[in-house]
Structure 1
Amino acid sequence: METNISLKHAIEQIVKEKGIDRQVVLEAMEQAVLTAANKKYRNTRDLEARYNSDTGEVELFEFVIVVEEVEDSYKEISLDEAREIDPDVEVGDSLGEKIDSSGFTRIAAQTAKQVIIQKVREAERETIFNEYSDRQWEVITGMVRRFEKGDLLIDLGRAEAVLPSKEQMPREVYRPGDRIRAIITDIRVTPKGPQIILSRTHPSMLAKLFEAEVPEVAEGIVEINAIVRDPGSRAKLAVSSNDPDVDPVGACVGMRGSRVQNVVSELRGEKIDIIPWSEDIARFACNALSPAQVSKVFVDEDNRALEVVVADDQLSLAIGKRGQNVSLAARLTGCRIDIKSEAKAAEAELQAYASYDGTQLEDEEMEEGEVAADEQDAVETDAVETVETVETAPEAEETVE
């Protein structure tokens, strides 16, 4: 009786601690006892294991087929012997008999334990996969456990996640035991179980942080239309409002910048430009190049290209350090952006005008030259005709003589 109580207690403890379905644990127990019994009897018998919830034990049954003439004594029984057990039995019926399951050896018990452990591990992996597959693109908090070839292994409590080196923020340093927040980007099935992939550089990480900080974003009043990031350095966020009374930029910035500052602190000082979204590509480009002020925008819709003119003192601000500002703006708008200062634009316009004027003057000179050449040809033609006229008048010459 004490053994049965211990078995029931072990099952309840596994279900509670591991969070595994009770039926899965019972099937694992039955399979463990069946495996041990088959090993003991060398697979010579037709056995079946069932868990009895009333007694709290795994019962083992041996089944034999009723035949007229026995050929395999382990799997068959004669009709006369079978009718001593059950008078109503007929040839071809399967007769089951309970056998003692407590006489397994230590090796058999160890085998049963290994089967249980394996089943429990498989059930745990399936549970973890089902749980975290529904949490993809969710920001979670974990603890750094150790480093492995540049990757960070993060302890999430019931599961372990991986933060690859390419998904880590530049210049961020972590030590074992540090707490870290990241977004789940993928859940992969591996021979060692489900592998949870995290990221701190993905644009969705920024979107989820704003969703947690800004109630208007969480409620859908303010919509995040586009995000581009240079992780650890700078990001641009394009937002719009579904309510004309709500300023999308102001909602994301918060009172005295409190909301955006919380996001900046989480991303270790990454600068964030929040700009209003616009379907007008020219206006959107002007917003995307902020904080620089744009004077003119020329749009080439066929080639998805923009030529932007800014004041001379705004040129370096529009381009940004190492071209970062214009690069992020180009990625945000999806267009190629060419930036010029007003002085350069005026100089280019003047050169174009001069080139056009010179070409026109050259054409006029060519036309005048052609007219002069025609007149000269006409004079020469007249002179030739005059000479021919003189040479063809011999009679007049003789008369003079």
Structure 2
Amino acid sequence: MNPSEVLRIVDAIHRDKKIDKEIVFLAIESALVSASRKYHSEDAEVVINIDRKDGTISGHIDGVPMDPEETVGRIGAQTAKQVIIQKIREAERDALHEEYDDLIGQMVNGIVHRSEGGATIVTLDNVEAILPRSEQIPGESFHANDRVRAVIFEVRKQGSRVKVVLSRTNKKFVERLFEQEIPEITESVIEIRNISREPGYRSKVAVDSSDQRVDCVGACVGVRGNRIKNIVDELAGERIDIVRWSENPQELITNALQPAEVEEVILCQMMGRAIVLVREDQLSLAIGRRGQNVRLASKLCGWDIEIMLREELEEQIERAVSGFSTIEGITEEVAEQLVGEGFLSYDDLSVIETDAMMEMGEYTEEQVEQIRDLAEQQAEKAERAMEAERRRIREEKLKDGSAQ
């Protein structure tokens, strides 16, 4: 391996594999060191350098200079070649890993190559990626040569290869689709503040505008809904709710629960809970099918949202004050404070923070612990009573059925 041949190899690998020349030089040096140790001794201190300009090889073993020809020649060309190939493959893998690791969360376009046990293998520019069944939108299917868009979800080294995992269920996928369809987002006029998603069913996207003249919700929907329609089509019909962002939690929660109409939002800071009061005709709309609307709104706003009728809240408050007052050490005044902070059940009280409870009634840590234990006992007792009631109702239904 003469100097000109070294430079030719480095240049060829750099062009063909798109690997930085310095990485190739280091790989060859490392390969020659490994091969040299096999010839001399594993414990030998071997240093080999390649001149980056003219390709000259020099080195020493245990401080003794090596002859350039001996550096490669005595090692054995075949051995050196094998190690170099291995090192180059490792360098190629590392370069590929670095390239795709920088793209995590970004959108890529690929061609479906084949399916393997529910997973879809997608060909990207220079690697085969996998789109697992768990990262596909429920109900969608792909066939060979289909074009597919997804975000890069995970990148990891696997032996001599790089495993690239794609996702169409991650909320980043929705964000990237919005960026493609809505120019105002890429121009930083509109900003996506948060996304909550249940893939294939429904997403809520909170948006904000830095320009008061631009209606962020209208811009995302588009003329006659054309912009949002393109996104919904890509998401296999998934429903998209565009929510106007607000720094005011009460306003944000009201927006997030649309199309339901909200009467009042009560924030319980200590519990991180928001009690939302609605009219009876809005109750099912606010909760949504199988609780989907309130669940997504909770994730979007970062508050534990509980939907109630005003009468229900009044009943719960009365029941909680009465119940808490029966616990040893809790006065009616403290009970009212607890309810005011959103503690409406024994379960809530059983997990109260020690510092918070100590501030309310000048309790010691031991007293707070005792109150929590008593609350937990009452919660278990209430659960047993509810289970007994459910069992009684079931038995009555069975009796009624057999009587008929």
What TM-score, normalized to structure 1? 0.65
Letter in 2 for 1:186: E
Determine if contact 2:217/2:243 at 8 Å carries over to the other structure: yes
Determine if contact 1:47/1:60 at 8 Å carries over to the other structure: no
* Counterparts of 1:195 and 1:337, CA distance in 2: 42
Q: CA RMSD in A?
A: 3.9
Identity of aligned residues (%): 40
Which aligned pairs between 1:259-278 and structure 2 lie closer than 5 A? 259-278=227-246
Partner of 1:134: 102
State which of 207, 224, 230 in structure 2 corresponds to 1:239: 207
Partner of 1:204: 172
Post-superposition Cα deviations, 1:120-152, rounded to whole Å, max 9, x if no partner, equal 111112212322232222111223344455443
SS at match of 1:20: coil
Partner of 1:365: none
* Counterparts of 2:65 and 2:9, CA distance in 1: 32
SS at match of 2:306: strand
Determine if contact 1:222/1:241 at 8 Å carries over to the other structure: yes
Partner of 2:23: 24
- 1:326 counterpart = 2:294: yes
Post-superposition Cα deviations, 1:183-222, rounded to whole Å, max 9, x if no partner, equal 2233334444543333211222212221222222222222
Post-superposition Cα deviations, 1:99-134, rounded to whole Å, max 9, x if no partner, equal 4789779xx443223212111111112212322232
Letter in 2 for 1:167: E
SS at match of 1:251: helix
SS at match of 2:307: strand
Determine if contact 2:31/2:87 at 8 Å carries over to the other structure: no
* Counterparts of 1:120 and 1:18, CA distance in 2: 9
Query: Are the structure 2 counterparts of residues 4 and 293 from structure 1 closer, same or farther at C-alpha, using a change threshold of 3 Å?
Result: same
Partner of 1:338: 307
Structure 2's unaligned 5+ residue stretches are 319-404
Letter in 2 for 1:230: E
Shift of 1:50: 6.0
Partner of 1:15: 14
Partner of 2:264: 297
* Counterparts of 2:7 and 2:313, CA distance in 1: 88
State which of 79, 83, 87 in structure 2 corresponds to 1:115: 83
* Counterparts of 2:176 and 2:19, CA distance in 1: 31
Return the structure number with greater strand share. 1
Letter in 1 for 2:195: I
- Bigger radius of gyration among the two: 1
What TM-score, normalized to structure 2? 0.64
* Counterparts of 1:116 and 1:331, CA distance in 2: 52
Query: Are the structure 2 counterparts of residues 185 and 34 from structure 1 closer, same or farther at C-alpha, using a change threshold of 3 Å?
Result: closer
Structure 1's unaligned 5+ residue stretches are 66-93, 354-401
Post-superposition Cα deviations, 1:71-112, rounded to whole Å, max 9, x if no partner, equal xxxxxxxxxxxxxxxxxxxxxxx565454789779xx44322
Which aligned pairs between 1:41-60 and structure 2 lie closer than 5 A? none
Shift of 1:292: 2.7
* Counterparts of 1:45 and 1:311, CA distance in 2: 83
State which of 92, 110, 125 in structure 1 corresponds to 2:93: 125
Letter in 2 for 1:277: W
Shift of 1:236: 1.0
Letter in 2 for 1:18: K
Determine if contact 1:36/1:104 at 8 Å carries over to the other structure: no
Total equivalences in the alignment: 314
Query: Are the structure 2 counterparts of residues 8 and 321 from structure 1 closer, same or farther at C-alpha, using a change threshold of 3 Å?
Result: same
Which aligned pairs between 1:162-173 and structure 2 lie closer than 5 A? 162-173=130-141
* Counterparts of 1:191 and 1:166, CA distance in 2: 24
Query: Are the structure 2 counterparts of residues 111 and 245 from structure 1 closer, same or farther at C-alpha, using a change threshold of 3 Å?
Result: same
